[in-house]
């Protein structure tokens, strides 16, 4: 099927080239074989290409409209699920609106002038080499608009990035490794126990220093649950290579860097349930499920299993190239009411309990290794 498609495309290309050459050849009947004027644009070329330039302007506009109609529902520019996300979206709309207008306007000027000024033999162009007023206008206008954008952007940036941890916040560690995520909740003391990769052992996959008292109530999870309306301060670590924790629906992203702790804070404002029931989301999910149903039919016809139907969930995905399976490094994120969150969290065992349970099965080996690890860290 694909090879047929490729052959068809190649044949069509051949015909297109042949036809186009003929059209262009018609514009220069009567030129002599070694006269280079046939390779330099003449009035007919100027005319044809002038009109094509104008047509290309039309193409840009039509293609823009086509993309807006067909793909306009893709961009995440509304329904941000975090408090600061609304600010980001607002700035995005302003910037998008601005560049859209500038794009439409300047492309028009460029292509229209090219069309209008298409060469005619004997005409002289306008000798116009300088105009300080004009130069000043298009220096000052960008300065003013950009100042506005910069100012708004910087205030928003400062709000987002500078976190006051004395507020009532929830501290969570998001831990990255090839190719998955782990979550560590800081427990009732809201302080994460110290950690280093040198403490990694068995169930203690993120290398928590179990001798640190703050680590006593830390809890590990494979899903990131967040309470609605509470500021979450995320501490990011990575054990191997660079990863990037990307939460598109929350307009949040931060790299996970081995050897250091990075952070990002946001307040979730829409629960998973609530998000699922929004009109735009229902439409999106239906659309995705239609596509999946179509593909499933193809798959079944080829003897494969059908695809599961899709329900919406917030996601954490890796957005920094991290190795072969980078494209499948994800974790489910759930936003729920504080009560639901508390009851979910309370059912999790603490890491200490888990480690103890594991130790119960093979005591000697583990203790030895933990000692080694503490020594190694102490030496550093």
Interacting positions 93-132 with other proteins (CB under 8 A): 95-96, 98-99, 102-103, 106-107, 109-111, 113-114, 117-120, 123-131
Altogether, the residues listed in the chain come to a count of 380
# residues near other proteins by CB under 8 A: 137
In sign, the C-alpha dihedral spanning 160, 164, 170, 175 is: positive
* Min CB(339)–other proteins separation in Å: 28
* Min CB(94)–other proteins separation in Å: 10
Residue closer to other proteins (CB basis): 260 or 339: 260
* Min CB(110)–other proteins separation in Å: 5
Neighbouring residues of 143: CB distance < 8 A, sequence distance ≥ 6? none
| Under rule CB under 8 A, residue 365 binds other proteins | no
C-alpha distances out from residue 342 to 185, 187, 347, 348, 372, Å: 12, 11, 9, 10, 36
Interface of this chain with other proteins, residues 288 to 307, rule: CB under 8 A: 288, 291-292, 295, 307
Q: Which stretch binds other proteins (CB under 8 A): 53-61, 181-189, 271-279, 332-340?
A: 53-61
Single residue of 187, 207, 227, 268 touching other proteins by CB under 8 A: 207
| Under rule CB under 8 A, residue 203 binds other proteins | no
C-alpha span between 270 and 314 (Å, rounded): 10
Single residue of 54, 86, 153, 189 touching other proteins by CB under 8 A: 153
* Min CB(159)–other proteins separation in Å: 9
* Min CB(184)–other proteins separation in Å: 15
* Min CB(170)–other proteins separation in Å: 20
C-alpha distances out from residue 224 to 42, 45, 221, 238, 312, Å: 67, 63, 7, 16, 15
| Under rule CB under 8 A, residue 348 binds other proteins | no
Structure letter (DSSP) for residue 319: -
Q: Nearest 5°: CA angle at 128, between 127 and 133?
A: 165
Q: Report which secondary-structure segment, H or E, holds 68.
A: helix 43-71
* Min CB(345)–other proteins separation in Å: 26
* Min CB(338)–other proteins separation in Å: 26
Contact between 282 and 215 (Cβ < 8 Å): no
Interface of this chain with other proteins, residues 21 to 40, rule: CB under 8 A: 21, 24-25, 33-36, 38-40
Residue closer to other proteins (CB basis): 327 or 342: 327
Single residue of 178, 214, 337, 374 touching other proteins by CB under 8 A: 178
C-alpha distances out from residue 193 to 93, 172, 190, 200, Å: 41, 11, 10, 14
Residue found by looking up tokens 């629906």 in the block: 249
| Under rule CB under 8 A, residue 133 binds other proteins | no
Buried-exposed string 317-337: b where 16+ CB fall within 10 A, e elsewhere: bbbbebeeebeebebebbbbe
Return contacts of 2-11, CB within 8 angstroms, 24+ apart.
none
Angle between helices 132-161 and 83-116 in degrees, nearest 10: 160
* Min CB(374)–other proteins separation in Å: 13
Single residue of 277, 328, 343, 362 touching other proteins by CB under 8 A: 328
Q: Nearest 5°: CA angle at 310, between 308 and 312?
A: 150
Residue closer to other proteins (CB basis): 295 or 338: 295
Strands of 219-221's sheet in order across: 219-221, 180-185, 169-177, 231-238, 262-266
Q: Which stretch binds other proteins (CB under 8 A): 3-11, 182-190, 227-235, 360-368?
A: 3-11
Single residue of 190, 262, 350, 374 touching other proteins by CB under 8 A: 262
| Under rule CB under 8 A, residue 161 binds other proteins | yes
Q: Which stretch binds other proteins (CB under 8 A): 51-59, 269-277, 343-351, 354-362?
A: 51-59
Q: Which stretch binds other proteins (CB under 8 A): 16-24, 272-280, 298-306, 348-356?
A: 16-24
Q: Report which secondary-structure segment, H or E, holds 173.
A: strand 169-177
């Amino acid at each position: 099927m694909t090879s047929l498609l490729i052959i068809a495309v190649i044949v069509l290309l051949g015909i297109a080239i042949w036809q186009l050459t003929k059209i262009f050849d018609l514009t220069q009947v009567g030129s002599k074989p070694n006269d280079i004027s046939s390779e330099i644009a003449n009035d007919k070329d100027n005319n044809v290409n002038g009109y094509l330039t104008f047509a290309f302007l039309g193409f840009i506009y039509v293609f823009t409209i086509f993309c807006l109609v067909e793909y306009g529902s893709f961009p995440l520019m509304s329904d941000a699920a975090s408090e600061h996300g609304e600010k980001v979206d607002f700035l995005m709309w302003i910037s998008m609106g601005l560049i859209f207008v500038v794009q439409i306007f300047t492309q028009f000027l460029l292509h229209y002038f090219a069309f209008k000024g298409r060469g005619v033999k004997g005409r002289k162009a306008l000798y116009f080499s300088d105009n300080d007023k004009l130069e000043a206008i298009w220096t000052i206008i960008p300065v003013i608009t950009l100042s506005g954008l910069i100012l708004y952007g910087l205030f928003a940036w400062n709000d987002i990035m500078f976190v006051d941890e004395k507020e009532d916040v929830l501290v969570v560690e998001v831990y990255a490794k090839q190719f998955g995520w782990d979550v560590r909740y800081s427990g009732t003391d809201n302080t994460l126990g110290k950690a280093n990769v040198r403490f990694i052992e068995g169930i203690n996959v993120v290398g928590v220093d179990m001798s640190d008292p703050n680590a006593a109530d830390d809890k590990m999870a494979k899903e990131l649950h967040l309470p609605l309306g509470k500021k979450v301060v995320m501490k990011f670590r990575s054990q191997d290579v660079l990863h990037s924790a990307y939460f598109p629906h929350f307009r949040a992203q931060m790299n996970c860097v081995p050897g250091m702790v990075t952070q990002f804070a946001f307040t979730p404002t829409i629960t998973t349930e609530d998000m699922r029931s929004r009109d735009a989301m229902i439409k999106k999910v239906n659309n995705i499920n239609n596509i999946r149903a179509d593909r499933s039919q193809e798959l079944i016809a080829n003897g494969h299993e059908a695809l599961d139907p899709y329900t919406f969930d917030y996601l954490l995905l890796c957005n920094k190239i991290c190795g072969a399976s980078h494209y499948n490094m994800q974790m489910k994120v759930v936003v729920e009411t504080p009560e639901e969150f508390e009851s979910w969290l309370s059912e999790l065992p603490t890491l200490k309990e888990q480690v103890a349970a594991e130790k119960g099965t093979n005591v000697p080996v583990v203790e030895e290794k933990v000692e080694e690890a503490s020594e190694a860290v102490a030496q550093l």
